[in-house]
Amino acid sequence: MTDNLGQLDHRYLWHPFTQMEEWLSQEPLIIERGEGNWLIDTEGRRYLDGVSSLWCNVHGHCNPRLDRALSEQAGRIAHSTMLGMSNPPAIELAEKLCGIAPAGLSRVFYAENGASAVEIALKMAYQYWQHSGEVRRTKFVGLDLAYHGDTLGAVSVGGIETFHAAFEPLLFEALHSPTPFPYRSPSGDCAPENCRDYCLSKMDALLAENAGGVAAVIVEPLVQGAAGIIVHPSGFLAGVRELCDRHEVLLICDEVATGFGRTGAMFACEHEDVSPDLMVVGKGLTGGYLPLSAAVATEEIFSAFLGRYDEFKTFFHGHTYTGNPLACAVGLENLKIFDDEQTLESLMGKIERLELRLEKFRGAANVGDVRSKGLMAGIELVADPLTGEMFPPGERVGGRVCEAAREFGVAIRPLGDVVVLMPPLSITLEEIDLLCDAVEQASVRVLQ
Ligand SMILES: *Cc1c(COP(=O)(O)O)cnc(C)c1O
């Protein structure tokens, strides 16, 4: 059975972000079932889901409440369109989402994945200024090393060389401002406050140079996930908000990775008391069950699109499955679980335990930097911790450590040579220990 599935996978599939030549040379891991924080393959082997099935699982797999919400909605209707009509789960989830979102965000526009919701936020920001008579505000400012998804607009404002360079001729021009990454500081000064102030002053200058021409700044608040779990120095996000206010540009916060408790607060913006003009959510919105995302806008942005039909201020954007009832029903139940089980309150002890365990990696052989915020952590492996010199990419050190971790019962996926730990919020203290033990043993196996 498994052999056959493996052969069929190799014969018919093309996997995302995967060098298929490498993939075709290995036995595929085929996950058949889930149980709480665990994945179970077709051979019955169990793996702790150390990256929440790509950063989206929240309350565990086969969660009885989410399962029930899904099947109950399936018994009513699986899909009806949001173009010209509505549906109860989409309405109720929107109300709930606005209730927990940072102050001022009050209008929900749904999509199915993070990248599409980023596109929506970009188009809304651009058109908001068009409708407001500031037609020269057409540019966007993104951070270096930013990741906002893989569609062309999201890639345009992104800044990850390896993923994005190939598509350069297809992109619209965006402005880029340096990332406050103390370990590889753009100014050379690694003190977090200096690194932060340097990056803020660069952004200030960029906004001044382009005065009247910028529609919005887009950032991943607090943590740049795909760049390798880069944790911004505290005060950076609040500083960006202040710059946006001063230069009168909109702020888009991409909370696709950081939203829904990941950093210890419901949204990362809360840590710095920041309210963006547009917030993008995805990944954890349905607890990791179904593809659903949203751009959440202020009433001010929403109002700019109001008018008579023949003024053509309508936001001409939508997807076939916008506001899908199955996905919204699960998203709603996901948020109810946060309330009923006090998910955020339960995180404190888990975050402490993870931080304690991560301390052990600091100063270990080949560990250059250890970064974390909440249940989002990265251990950067380097050839020389003194100079920060990286391993040659061909050695695939991060990849090999993660493959070795499977033998210790843990499924993780690296970002280059950064070992990423991002377990479901429902992980237990014992499972955190198991996760960290496995990474430790796997690193020793690969690096010695
Ligand atoms: C994953 C991610 C996206 C893209 O989401 P998809 O659902 O994969 O399109 C966008 N922004 C951030 C910050 C992400 O981590």
Establish whether residue 230 lines the binding site of ligand 1, counting it when its CB lies within 6 angstroms of any ligand atom. no
Average of per-residue pLDDT across 35-45 = 98
Establish whether residue 182 lines the binding site of ligand 1, counting it when its CB lies within 6 angstroms of any ligand atom. no
Q: How far is the CA of 255 from the centre of ligand 1 (A)?
A: 9
pLDDT of residue 351: 98
Residue 39 in 3-state DSSP? strand
Which tokens is 301 given?
């942005």
CB 122 within 8 A of CB 252: yes
Residue nearest to atom 5 of ligand 1 (CA): 114
pLDDT of residue 163: 80
Share of the chain above pLDDT 70, in %: 99
Establish whether residue 220 lines the binding site of ligand 1, counting it when its CB lies within 6 angstroms of any ligand atom. yes
Beta-strand pair 31-35/38-41: antiparallel
- Per the listing, tokens 């301390």 go with 359
Establish whether residue 115 lines the binding site of ligand 1, counting it when its CB lies within 6 angstroms of any ligand atom. yes
Give the model's confidence band at 1: pLDDT under 50 very low, under 70 low, under 90 confident, else very high: low
pLDDT of residue 210: 98
pLDDT of residue 448: 86
- The pTM of the full predicted model, rounded to 2 decimals, is 0.98
Domain 68-340 falls under CATH 1.10.287.110: no
Average of per-residue pLDDT across 330-349 = 98
Residue nearest to atom 15 of ligand 1 (CA): 257
Establish whether residue 254 lines the binding site of ligand 1, counting it when its CB lies within 6 angstroms of any ligand atom. yes
Residue 32 in 3-state DSSP? strand
In sequence order, the 6+-apart residues with CB closer than 8 A to the CB of 365 are: 385, 447, 448
Q: Using CB atoms within 10 A of its CB, is residue 143 exposed (0-12), middle (13-18) or buried (19+)?
A: buried
Establish whether residue 284 lines the binding site of ligand 1, counting it when its CB lies within 6 angstroms of any ligand atom. no
Establish whether residue 119 lines the binding site of ligand 1, counting it when its CB lies within 6 angstroms of any ligand atom. no
* pLDDT beyond 80 at 173: yes
* pLDDT beyond 80 at 16: yes
Which tokens is 225 given?
């996930």
Residue-range domain boundaries for the chain: 2-58+345-447, 68-340
Establish whether residue 225 lines the binding site of ligand 1, counting it when its CB lies within 6 angstroms of any ligand atom. yes
Average of per-residue pLDDT across 251-261 = 98
pLDDT of residue 165: 85
Q: Using CB atoms within 10 A of its CB, is residue 383 exposed (0-12), middle (13-18) or buried (19+)?
A: middle
pLDDT of residue 2: 56
Q: How far is the CA of 41 from the centre of ligand 1 (A)?
A: 26
pLDDT of residue 242: 98
Atom of ligand 1 nearest to the CA of 115: 9
Closest by CA position to 259, among listed 386, 105, 129, 401: 105
The β-bridge partners of 250 are: 216
Establish whether residue 279 lines the binding site of ligand 1, counting it when its CB lies within 6 angstroms of any ligand atom. no
Helix (H) or strand (E) run with residue 22 in it: helix 20-24
Average of per-residue pLDDT across 281-294 = 98
pLDDT of residue 114: 98
Closest by CA position to 106, among listed 320, 349, 351, 294: 294
Cα 368 to its chain centre, rounded Å, is 23
Phi, psi of 272 (to 5 degrees): -120, 20
Q: How far is the CA of 379 from the centre of ligand 1 (A)?
A: 21
Which tokens is 410 given?
């843990």
Residue nearest to atom 10 of ligand 1 (CA): 148
Share of the chain above pLDDT 90, in %: 98
Establish whether residue 223 lines the binding site of ligand 1, counting it when its CB lies within 6 angstroms of any ligand atom. no
Average of per-residue pLDDT across 160-176 = 91
Q: How far is the CA of 114 from the centre of ligand 1 (A)?
A: 4
Beta-strand runs (E) in 268-322: 278-281, 293-298
* pLDDT beyond 90 at 136: yes
* pLDDT beyond 80 at 99: yes
The β-bridge partners of 296 are: 108, 279
Q: How far is the CA of 116 from the centre of ligand 1 (A)?
A: 9
CB 246 within 8 A of CB 222: no
* pLDDT beyond 90 at 356: yes
Establish whether residue 114 lines the binding site of ligand 1, counting it when its CB lies within 6 angstroms of any ligand atom. yes
Residue nearest to atom 6 of ligand 1 (CA): 114
Instruction: Choose the residue to mutate in 148, 256, 292 for probing ligand 1, maximizing ligand atoms within 8 Å of C-beta.
Output: 256
* pLDDT beyond 80 at 175: yes
* pLDDT beyond 60 at 318: yes
The β-bridge partners of 219 are: 253
pLDDT of residue 158: 96
Domain 2-58+345-447 falls under CATH 3.90.1150.10: yes
Give the model's confidence band at 307: pLDDT under 50 very low, under 70 low, under 90 confident, else very high: very high
pLDDT of residue 110: 98
Average of per-residue pLDDT across 173-189 = 96
